[in-house]
Structure 1
Amino acid sequence: MEINLDIRPNRRFEIIDVSALLCDQVGDALHPFRKAVYCSFHTTAGYLEQGVCRHLGHSRKQLDPFIRAVQKIFPHDAGYFHDRMQLRDELSDSQKEKEPVNADSHLTFIGAGLKNCVTYLHRPDEPVYFIELDGIYKDYVRERRTTVMAYDRAEIVHRGRIAIPVEGDHAIDSFNLKDARYGLFEQLEEWSRQYGVDKGCIDIRLAPEEEHVGMTVNEYETLLMRNDLPEVLSDPLRYVLKRSKKLLQHPAAIPGKTRDYAAYDLIHFYNDLMDQVPVGRSVIDRIFSVLSTPAKRILRLKRRISLLVSDSAETGPGHIVHGTYQSPILVQHHPAEDGVRYMDITLRRFT
């Protein structure tokens, strides 16, 4: 069963219960199904995995401060390259007037571990939260869309491995896997048709031997991916000091004490957050542990991403469901030894 929901946010940051919207639209039609995939078409609004929400008690009262903690690491309008419209040559003058200042929302999406596509065990009594990070800009209210696909069984119909060349001179680099040069989307579309998958999903997982690399689905805008993201990955604490004056109260005028001041304030911020989000300790520990050293773990980038497959005309051309600006992105913070990264692909058909 496939349902498409249109969502109109009321605020820039909003936590929206999609299960309540589904109930309003289709009643209890989803109740008989064992699982459901929730797919966002957007790069600044998405979902947390069910396990993370469970750690946070499926509660807005605990989810809200968790997301706000990550937002404090990436404050709004803090001089990001992505937000410097004079550098955005791909935009016309009229587009620059309307383009939102939202690099913080993209980085929060990645840093908090939000995903474009998640699979939940279907529990009608539990909320499913669509997390909106950039719903309103000036007087413009975004129109959001999410697809929900409910099913009982998923049959693996194909497994394969794909090599992605990642040659480059930068220690930290990112690669747009939707780029036609890699042939990834063309291959995935071909497999979905070859194996007769009209409703299903594609899991893309980094090969077990791959190190110093992660993935996300977001907008591959050059300034964001080649300037803002590498800056935070190279030294998260230094980045927080530079960008987030609200989070770090002490001045960073003495270079030798900069990191000590940052650690001091992060401890206070961490303890304050723990008072509000007690059951989410393991989740928040992972966020803050990354800030203590250069990013040996890339914030909450994943080793696996998922793409929904549908033959519905409502989800757009092609079988792979994705929004206009969504791209699978591979981010490495150390070059691959042979200049190639390997990904294992699993194609599933829903019944």
Structure 2
Amino acid sequence: MHGGNIYENRIKYDFSVNLNPAGPPDSVQDALVAALNHVEEYPDPEYRELRRGLANYWQLAEEQIVPGNGASELIPGIIRTLSPKTCMVTAPCYSGYETALNAAAPSSRIHRIPLRAEDDFTLPENICQEIARVKPNLLILTNPNNPNGKRIAANRLREITDTCRMVGTVLLMDECFLALSGGAADSLIHRIRSEALPAVVLRAFTKTFAIPGVRLGYAICSGPMAERIQSELPEWNLSVFAQYAGRAALEAAAGGNVMRGTAAGGTPAPETSAGGTSGYLTASVEMVAREREYLMAELESLGFRVFPSDANYILFQSRDRELHQKLLDKGILIRDCRDYHGLTAGFYRTAVRTHRENMALLQCLRNIK
């Protein structure tokens, strides 16, 4: 179900988790050290400074933001809030959605939209017709999709949101990988600012800032829905470490001024400003794009079927159904995707890492072949 299982094996390179290969900003690491001085204090249960920083960053009201202990805590909280009778998901997609549905809304009927390998796992042309036919209470999409990494085309996304509004479907859009894909302008958050969308957008600091051990994510939606989601979460679910790290990450993303509110008041949010993202994010997006193209080309040259990706991970297919184990024997962990709905043995996902790490993976693959 998840990557990152480094505790049962001796791992030298972990390509099973999709983190920013640039690593966390120095300011975030400094903030985590500073948080040690506050371990004898209860964390702020209202997340005042973190929520204020997020509101300034996205030019939203603080009441629209729900911080959580990673996206994995927020997903079941959102599902419990909505209690959908019918939920539509794509297949393949992140399996945690169905796990959360089975736990938080066990009577919900799950309707899967199949994505086909021959179409590079893009959304089907008839998805809006299916939404209109099924009229699900909840539609869950990931942009870019996991495990194949393709972003949703902007015009297709608008068609989907218009259809959802027409039939009364709430859209849960998981954008945890969008910031590193170069598609920041496609974020649904920008439309939440200006339109009354029946939508919840999910984001995580985990992937963007490479801090999975901190556990920090957030949801953005309309005020009344945000309050209901918050009521489904436990008190003090964010440690002082998470809150300090989140504030420092926002400072890094916004060029050091987001906590003072200069991103608000009509100034474009940092991810959509004329100059693009701030230095840390700009460099990260460029690094991911450069290494992704390199890794995709090399994987293809080795004879693998490589599916197009915009993200910091790549889905590929091999005739070798034991490739995962062969790499594991050499201390390299990739994601075996046979447990995804719609995929079988021989489908694998690899993260895009630093050039040195990517070369190590490729050399190992050459030796195996």
* Fold equivalence (TM over 0.5): no
Q: TM-score, normalised by structure 1?
A: 0.30
Q: TM-score, normalised by structure 2?
A: 0.29
